[in-house]
Amino acid sequence: MNRDLNSCYFGAQTIRIKIQCHFTEPPADSHDGLKNSLSEHVRKLTTD
C-alpha cells in the first residue's frame, strides 16, 4: 500500500477530532461497529 506519512497523519487527526467532537451524533448502537472498523484499519496499517 502506498502511503504518505503526512496523509496518514492528516487522516488520523481528522478521525480523532470527529470522534472527540461528534461522537454522540451516530446512534449508540453503532459505536461498537465504529470501534471495530477503526481497529481493523489500524491492524491493516501496521501489518503492511
1: pLDDT strictly greater than 60: no
- Grid cell at residue 25: 451524533
Where is pLDDT greater, at 36 or 3? 36
Question: Confidence class of residue 48 from pLDDT cuts 50, 70 and 90?
Answer: low
Enumerate residues 6+ apart whose C-beta is below 8 A from 45. 3, 8
Question: What is the C-alpha separation between 45 and 24, in angstroms, rounded?
Answer: 27
Question: Confidence class of residue 2 from pLDDT cuts 50, 70 and 90?
Answer: low
Are 34 and 26 contacting, i.e. CB atoms less than 8 angstroms apart? yes
